[in-house]
Chain A
Amino acid sequence: MSFLSPFFRNPITDFTGPIMSAQTGVRCADFEMKLMNCYEAYGYPKGMEVCQAYYDDFKECCTRDKQMSRVQAIQNERDRQAKPEYEKPPAMHAF
């Protein structure tokens, strides 16, 4: 059994709940807000199914799992080639 809000709500949970959130950051704040709005709209347990895409996107934003897998796949492909070709390095101070 899982809950989206505290089982026993009191001032302490109100105070400590928002501490660990992505809202203070820049990258994933929007993803988290969309996910939370969706959860709030559908509630438990229907929200767990309906908001799966938002959840996956938020998780991807936090962990960059797919992006890092992409990098790994590209590196593997390059290592597989007999004569790996590299490009010129990007200009500095552009990232």
Chain B
Amino acid sequence: MATAERVKQDMPPKGGYRKINFARVFPKPFASSRAMVGTYIVCTGVGWYLYLLNDRLVDKYQVESRSSLIAITPLLDAEADREYLKQLRKNRETEEKLMKNVKGWKTGTLYGEPVYKTVDKNELIEPGLNEYYVHAPDKVLYDRVYWHKYL
């Protein structure tokens, strides 16, 4: 076989192949583990302390806010009651003006018939919602009763 003698066999280089590096390579540590844990504990502790300070401050703000609301509630209630009575007076005057041509009508009664028979005349008879809004345009009452439709 003359042709086979001329073929060059591919052989390893002299001294053999270089060694395969399969050793695990660790990253260079940023700091020692003791220093890292210590830094973590210190930072967290400082953070907790600052959170505590802020929490106390927020509590103070909330107490202040609630106290002012409690202090002002009687005033707001009194204003609402005053407004209610003023509106009742306005309603009475409007009714007198509106119903002056109706025969037999007396203000505050149903054609001269009192609403309550046994209740004293000087006592306040509280109206219902639609009686309270009777002199305003209809849409006002509907809007305020069905306010949730505009949400």
Are these two chains actual partners, yes or no?
A: yes
The A/B interface has a contact count, at CB < 8 Å, of 77
Residues of chain B touching chain A, judged by Cβ–Cβ distance below 8 Å, are 80, 83-84, 87, 90, 94-95, 98-99, 101-102, 105, 109-111, 113, 115-119, 127-137, 140, 144
Cβ contacts under 8 Å, A95 to chain B: 84, 129, 132
Of A57, A71, A93, the contact of B118 (CB 8 Å cutoff)? A57
Cβ contacts under 8 Å, A75 to chain B: 134
Interface residue count on the A side (C-beta < 8 Å): 30
Cβ contacts under 8 Å, B117 to chain A: 53, 56-57
For the complex formed, measure the closest distance between the CB of B147 and the CB atoms of chain A, giving whole angstroms: 10
| Docked pose: A94 CA to B82 CA in angstroms | 8
Would you call B129 and A66 a contact (CB within 8 A)?
Answer: no
Cβ contacts under 8 Å, B109 to chain A: 70
Q: Residue of B at shortest CB range from A70?
A: B110
What 1/0 flags go to A62-95 for Cβ under 8 Å of B? 0010111111011101100000011111111111
Cβ contacts under 8 Å, A89 to chain B: 133, 136-137, 140
| Docked pose: A95 CA to B117 CA in angstroms | 25
Would you call A67 and B136 a contact (CB within 8 A)?
Answer: no
Would you call B98 and A77 a contact (CB within 8 A)?
Answer: yes
Cβ contacts under 8 Å, B128 to chain A: 64, 67-68, 71
Check: A60 CB closer than 8 A to any chain B CB.
Answer: yes
Q: Residue of B at shortest CB range from A54?
A: B118
| Docked pose: A70 CA to B91 CA in angstroms | 13
